Structures are given as C-alpha cells and as structure tokens.
Amino acid sequence: MITIRRRDFIAGAAGAMAWPLAARAQQGGVRRVGILVPNSRTVGGANVDAFKRSLAELGWAEGRNIRFVERYATDNNEIAVDAAELARLAPDVIFVTGSQVLQPMRRASEDIPLVFAVVPDPVGLGFVNSLAHPGGNITGFASVEFGIATKQLDLLKKLAPTLQRVGYLDDPDLPSSVRLWAEIETAAPSLSLQASMLPVRNAEEIERAIMALAREPNNGLYVGSGNATTRNSEMIAMLALRHRLPSMYNLRGATAGFVDGGLAAYAPVPVDLFRRAASYVDRILRGQKPGDLPVQLPTKFEFVLNLKTAKAMGLDIPVNMLALADEIIE
C-alpha cells in the first residue's frame, strides 16, 4: 500500500491546512491516477497506452512518481461498480472515456478532478457549464465537432454521386444527436440531398429503420455515435452492405464492424484525444483546477475509405477521393 504524506502547517488560529497539489508534486510523492474505460483491455488498451506515454513525456514515470489504477468495464453494471470503487480509492485525478462512463463517475464523486475524452456534447449532456468555463470538477476533450456534418455529407455524395436521400441513424434522446441533426438538415439541400432522421434506441429499431430506408433506391446512411449505434455497429455495417446503402460514420473508433460493410468515416482520431487528455491530467496534478481548464474540441480528423465495400456496392471511386483518404481498407 502506498501512503502519500501530507504536511500540514499552522496559519495563525485558522488551524491545520493541507498543502496544495503542486507542493505535493514538488516533494516527490507518488501520485495516483484512476482510469476507467468502457471496453476490455484488449480493445481499449492501445489508446490508454498512448495516454500513459504522453504523461511520461510530461515527466510522469510510472513506478517513480505516478501510479495508475485501471479499470476496464464492458457493460453498464460493471461501469457503475468500477466508478464507485475508484471514488472510494480517491486518486488525485480520474481519467474516463465516453459519456456512459462519465455519468456514473460524476455521480460517484463530486470532489475528485475528472478528465474525459471522447464525450460528444459535454455541455448538452450537462457535464460542464460551458466549453470555455467548465466549472466544477470536470473538464476534457469532446469527440464531436458539429460543423463537420457538411464535410461528411459532401464526401458521401462524392463517393456515391447518385445518392438522393440520407437517413441519419442515431438515438433521438441524446442532446448531441439533436444538434447534429440540425446541422445535417441544414447542409443536405446544398448538396441536393434529402435528409431524414431515423430514431433508434436498440438493435430491433435499427434493423427496422435500415430495412425501411432500403426499400427506395439511391438512399444512404449517416451513422451517429450514440450508444445504440456504437453497440450495434457490426450489424449496421452488415445490413448496409447487404442492401447497398453507402454509409458515412461519425466516429471511427466506434465502428467495430466498419471493415465488414461500412463505406467511409470522417471523424476525429480517438487516440489524439487520449494523448491531449494527458496534458490536462498533468496540469491538474501540478495544481490547476479542472473547472478553469476549457473543454477542447477535436483538431485532428481522418478520412477512412473501405474500398472492398465500395466494390461490393458497385461504386467506382474517383482517383482524387482515393488520394484524399488517410486510410484505405482493401
């Protein structure tokens, strides 16, 4: 068991007072950072390793001045149990990924600094007061830049020029889904597209929505990044391929079945958000308050193209589109 010593001093009659975080760091104590990820270690470990490497570059060497308490959970019950356990352990900072983890972690502790990555709409979901001034004990790196909807639709239209209508597949109860739908609805007419919202909350609704969309020709899919679409990404990809529905994904890291049928993704690079999150953990460990650190938006995006799916759908991808792709799956 590692014990972190706290030196107290007396300030007049005010009594004992704990040294601030920065002073503790200067005295060489081992700091503890909790990590909670909604995936198995096999799936989520690579991004976590990138997060740790970034901290190492900032001077935090595991075993010397920092120790990680890692938890990997694959369902909501496990996440809630792990969140409560991390809160009891009271590390100096907790790093979490995804809104499905941030929500129970927030409930478990109102005092421990929380740094997040890959949360779509932290203001709309009520985690922070604003992007510029989060307030409270939470800050981090959002995964959605709503303005990219126009770019995504434009890419999809260029990949499938006969496209006439796009169905937006996502959970309608999510604030991020509502905001993204407003962007899609505005952007679609400028690209000679009709857009429709396909509200889904589970696998059955997803299957029905895709089947209905497939009844008409020249239709395509815009796949959102809510929990329902993320959990059922393989099924979505399979159905899209079967019915020849060109699809654009909004979150590359969530599309586990992308190689099996998804056509394209234009999305933030998840590992970049993990790396950048390390800078906020570092700043908090050195004494800054999370509420004073503005929530940041994605700055690095990647265009991934599945050429195998394009060929199966009979799409002839222009050379200039191939040149634009950051990754091509064949």
pLDDT tens, residue by residue, 27-77:
458 999 999 998 888 878 999 999 999 999 999 999 999 999 999 998 889
**Where in the sequence of the chain do the CATH 3.40.50.2300 domains occur?**
20-144+270-297, 146-269+302-329
What are phi and psi for residue 268, nearest 5 degrees? -60, 155
Of residues 144 and 209, the one with the higher pLDDT is 209
CB 74: neighbour CB atoms within 10 A? 13
Q: pLDDT band at 13, cuts 50/70/90?
A: very low
Task: Say what percent of the chain tops pLDDT 70.
Answer: 88
Asked if CATH classification 3.40.50.2300 holds for the domain at 146-269+302-329, the reply, yes or no, is yes
User: How far, in Å, are 38, 60, 157, 164, 185 from residue 161 at the CA level?
Assistant: 37, 50, 5, 8, 19
User: What was the pLDDT predicted at 217?
Assistant: 94
> Do the beta carbons of residue 102 and residue 116 sit within 8 Å?
yes
CB 330: neighbour CB atoms within 10 A? 8
User: What was the pLDDT predicted at 258?
Assistant: 53
Least confident of 207-211, 249-253, 261-265, 318-322: 249-253
Arithmetic mean of pLDDT, 192-199: 97
Q: Is 60 left (phi over 0), alpha (psi -120 to 50) or beta?
A: beta
DSSP letters, 81-136, are HHHHHHHHH--SEEEEESHHHHHHHHHH-SSS-EEEEEES-TTTTTSSS-SS---T
pLDDT digits (tens, 9 = 90+) for 127-159: 999 999 999 999 999 988 888 999 999 999 999
User: What was the pLDDT predicted at 231?
Assistant: 79
Arithmetic mean of pLDDT, 225-250: 88
CB 75: neighbour CB atoms within 10 A? 10
Q: pLDDT band at 259, cuts 50/70/90?
A: low
Q: pLDDT band at 288, cuts 50/70/90?
A: very high
Tokens read off for 54: 């970034």
User: What was the pLDDT predicted at 42?
Assistant: 84
Query: Which listed CATH number (3.40.190.10, 3.40.50.2300, 2.40.50.140, 3.40.50.1820) goes with 20-144+270-297?
Result: 3.40.50.2300
Please state, in angstroms and rounded to a whole number, the distance separating the CA atoms of residues 62 and 64. 6
User: What was the pLDDT predicted at 226?
Assistant: 81
Q: 255-260 long-range contacts, Cβ below 8 Å, gap at least 24?
A: 255/223, 257/233, 258/233, 258/304, 258/306, 258/329, 259/306, 259/308, 259/329, 260/234
What single-letter DSSP state applies at residue 28? T
User: What was the pLDDT predicted at 9?
Assistant: 30
Arithmetic mean of pLDDT, 81-98: 97
Arithmetic mean of pLDDT, 297-312: 92
User: What was the pLDDT predicted at 174?
Assistant: 82
pTM passes above 0.85:
no
Task: Say what percent of the chain tops pLDDT 90.
Answer: 69
Q: pLDDT band at 315, cuts 50/70/90?
A: very high
